Amino acid sequence: MKEKVLERFLRYIAVDTKSDDSSETTPSTEKQFNLANMLKKELEDLGLVDISLDEKCYLMATLPANTDKPIPTIGFIAHMDTAPDMSGENVNPQFWPDYQGQDLVINAEKNLVLSTTEFPELKMYFGNTIITTDGNTLLGADDKAGVAEIMTAIEYLIEHPEIKHGTIKVGFTPDEEIGRGVDHFDVAKFGAKYAYTLDGGMVGELEYENFNAAGAKVHIQGRNIHPGYAKGKMLNSILIGMEFNSLLPVFDRPEFTEKYEGFYHLIKMEGSVEKAMLQYIIRDHDREKFEQKKKLITEAVEFMKKRYGEDVFRLELNDQYFNMREMVEPVFHIVELAKKAMEDLGIEPHIVPIRGGTDGSRLSYMGLPCPNIFAGGHNFHGKFEYVPIESMEKAAKVIVRIVELYEQADVTA
């Protein structure tokens, strides 16, 4: 498995699949089809059935059951795109075999060092072979590691027919990195009762809780007057925007929060004296606290309207996704089986809340309960991204073990 998951991973990261959040199409970049078509051919060569790649770049396939025992159909899902934060073109991976706990100089010319002081989790991988970038691109472990792990596990199951299993579904999606990963995912067509995304980080991560999420845009219409004659007339929308932001709790920002603590995050501010816009994301694991945060930002806008005028402020506030825990808890055995799979392989499970969202969170509300499993990478979306080969191997083995446990478990199909 180790050699095969590595070989696949290196082939996949050589294909640039960066998504584009400014695009209105699905997929957001046509080049995502390059990897999708490669994977489609591999699935055909492996002998899977019901293979489909639609015009939106959603790739699905089926590994038929090899037993008559009634077993729930389960799926494994990963995304093909990489983040728009950094280039995914001409990725040049570097290998650090038998890692001994030292700092890794990934680019001496740029003085880029993967430091154990800044990234202490590196020391978890003593003796492993670590793959890093060369400091010019991201690596693409998010989520091509997940893609490689699923493909390798499916191949292993085909090559070992003595492992009895029910019907297994495979799904690869576009545009996850820009929040559109399951916009056009056909749950009924996919046909799984339960699924798992392979999109987590460090070895052992198992996640079935994520943020409730909303997006807000605060539009401010100012009044631009010549500054020499502006007294009592000018409304500087930039300054008014700064005043608005000061109404939100300082310690409810990402840089002051952790674990189950939510936040308001100002992600963009643009404008001039005449007009400005502040864009926020709002996050909280607790649904009640999430609703309170939305209420507070709404009340802040209403306060500013009273201060400066009804037409000066306009709020766009939209829910984005919700905590999958509500959908997963009624079928919690899917988490317990994944946990047992890790324990059976000597992997310590780390069940942690996601301080973000995954495709699985939205899929869970679309009728497909879908916790998230580690893919093995660290420092996603940037030049310090890395993944140990052994972590990818372990993730592939976890998939196989989950499949085995579903055959053994008393789970209604």
pLDDT tens digits for range 80-108: 999 998 999 999 999 999 999 999 999 99
Whether residue 81 lies in the annotated active site: yes
* Cα separations in angstroms, 339 against 399, 405, 409: 11, 11, 14
Contacts of 295 (CB under 8 A, 6+ apart): none
Query: Distance between terminal CA atoms of the chain?
Result: 29
Reported as a single tens digit per residue, the pLDDT across 296-319 is 999 999 999 999 999 999 999 999
Separation CA 115–CA 122 (nearest Å): 8
Taking Cα atoms as reference points, which of 324, 1, 70 lies closest to residue 182? 324
Residue with tokens 């790649």: 53
SS3 per-residue string spanning 202-224: CCCEEECCCCEEEEEEEEEECEC
The average confidence (pLDDT) of the chain is: 96
Catalytic site residue from 149, 175, 176, 209: 176
Per-residue buried b or exposed e for 288-315, using 16+ beta carbons within 10 Å of the residue's own CB: eebeebbebbeebbeebeeebeeebbee
- With CA atoms as reference, report the closest residue to 324 among 357, 350, 278: 357
Contacts of 356 (CB under 8 A, 6+ apart): 210, 211
pLDDT on residue 355 = 86
Mean pLDDT of the region 344-362: 90
The predicted structure's pLDDT at residue 89? 95
pLDDT value at 413 more than 90: no
Q: Rounded to whole angstroms, what are the CA distances from 114 to 119, 122, 237?
A: 7, 9, 42
Q: Is the pLDDT of residue 357 over 80?
A: no
Q: Which residue has the tokens 């078509």?
A: 37
Torsion of CA 232, 236, 240, 242, to 10 degrees: -140
pLDDT tens, position by position, 233-281: 999 999 999 999 999 999 999 999 999 999 999 999 999 999 999 999 9
The model's pTM is 0.88
Q: Give mean pLDDT, residues 284-292.
A: 96
- pLDDT of residue 356 exceeding 90, the answer is no
Predicted pLDDT of residue 269: 96
Q: Please state, in angstroms and rounded to a whole number, the distance separating the CA atoms of residues 73 and 190.
A: 10
Active site residue 176: yes
CB 99 within 8 A of CB 127: yes
| The pLDDT of residue 179 | 84
Mean pLDDT of 151-169: 98
Alpha carbon 252 to chain centroid, angstroms:
23
Q: Are 146 and 397 in contact (CB under 8 A)?
A: no
Domains (range + CATH), the chain: 2-209+324-408 (3.40.630.10), 212-321 (3.30.70.360)
Cα–Cα distances (Å) from 265 to 247, 255, 297, 303, 382, in that order, read: 13, 9, 12, 20, 20
Residue 208: pLDDT over 60: yes
